[in-house]
Amino acid sequence: MMRTRPLKVALLGCGVVGSEVARIMTTHADDLTARIGAPVELAGVAVRRPDKVREGIAPELVTTDATALVKRGDIDVVVEVIGGIEPARGLITTAFEHGASVVSANKALLAQDGAALHAIAEQHDKDLYYEAAVAGAIPLIRPLRESLAGDKINRVMGIVNGTTNFILDKMDSTGAGYQEALDEATALGYAEADPTADVEGFDAAAKAAILAGIAFHTRVRLDDVYREGMTEVTAADFASAKEMGCTIKLLAICERAEDGASVTARVHPAMIPLSHPLASVRGAYNAVFVESDAAGQLMFYGPGAGGSPTASAVLGDLVAVCRNRLSGTTGPGESAYAALPVSPMGDVVTRYHISLDVADKPGVLAQVATVFAEHGVSIDTVRQSGKDGEASLVVVTHRASDAALTGTVEALRKLDTVRGVASIMRVEGE
């Protein structure tokens, strides 16, 4: 039986994403009513600039007092799309305390304080949903915490930032340098005026923390995630990758140790074979590759940012939360029962591509190989080229720990015949 009293929704933020949420709530009102079992009503919109014209939103709904809005008591669901830590954290907490469930797209807050927010939601018997916090429109969080809840996930590896993927794809396809590709991304609106959060991996690291926590039933905070940006990736790195049949992507990698006793979460540029599904992800798209015991290998692909894609994920959560509200239930909360330790980056084992500038004379290769052997790092392939007394030596290793590789590189720098370490790149996806 259809309920006639509408479920009331408070919207915190009305920027690119928030305005799309409001628009879809209005234009798809009848469909949303049919899917939920009751009408949904936009009861208020909290903004910073009240004088700005917002098409489709009645002026009387707009307020600058977000706290008063979430304290009203008649609000069923608060949708938070303002981002950042504060005032978002305080507003979400207040919403729970005054009887509302919450839908959020706030990856930074969830990566930092997700456990505390889940605890408050549970204390007040309310929902906390955040599909839009990771990978935009791509259904990812719900499959991980619901569809795959009966499986054992071993690895989650993906491209979770559209800006960096656009830049790296442009460098790969055109031979452009980093700055040139960044300038184009900025001109097209893919990169912010200050792209630091994207290109230095902060955005991807927050998403990795969220994904690792859900996948491994373990609390993983942003501080637990190793982060390395992509600003040092060069056209020469792409040339080397192509010689190996690879390309370069900024990857978020969350994996369970082989013995199952710990997990790791990391973000960094990596070479991946062209045969890997992630290698074909172009432009500003996102894709996440999941490996589990029973389901095997799964890939989730689609637009990872933008107003409409992100609003789609928000509305999906809104429908789910409203259905729960009507039935008097709540959806899945935090699952952290495994409580696995998060290992440091030094314990991570992978392959490496190291490019060295060396003297072009007999015995150099033997010296370099000896250093690798002394640190327990096995060499897979070596390629050397040079003239006029200078040479380039490219070494690709078998799997080795990050700590062992770090020690190897430190020792290589001390050799008189090694002029410098041009680049170090991890090789993933094999």
Per the listing, tokens 């905070």 go with 221
Task: Judge whether 57 and 45 are in contact, CB under 8 Å.
Answer: yes
CA distances from 197 to 91, 135, 161, 232 (A): 24, 15, 10, 15
Q: Where are the beta strands (DSSP E) in 88-142?
A: 101-104, 128-129
CA distances from 92 to 100, 147, 301, 408 (A): 9, 27, 30, 48
Residues 59-88 as b or e (16 or more Cβ within 10 Å = b)? eebbeeebeebbbeeebbbbbbbbbeeeeb
CA–CA separation, 119 and 93 (whole Å):
10
H or E stretch at 112: helix 107-123
CA–CA separation, 189 and 184 (whole Å):
9
Task: Judge whether 324 and 7 are in contact, CB under 8 Å.
Answer: no
One-letter amino acid of 254 = C
3-state secondary structure of 344: coil
Active site residue ranges? 207
Q: Among 322, 309, 171, which residue's Cα sits nearest to residue 242?
A: 171
Q: Terminus-to-terminus CA distance in the chain, angstroms?
A: 53
| Cα Rg of the chain, angstroms | 24
Size of the chain, expressed as the number of residues it contains: 430
CA–CA separation, 239 and 247 (whole Å):
9
Each as own residue / partner, the long-range contacts of residues 240-244 (CB below 8 Å, 24 or more positions apart, any chain) are 240/353, 240/355, 240/394, 240/423, 240/425, 241/172, 241/271, 241/353, 241/425, 243/383, 244/271, 244/273, 244/353, 244/396, 244/427
CA–CA separation, 363 and 361 (whole Å):
7
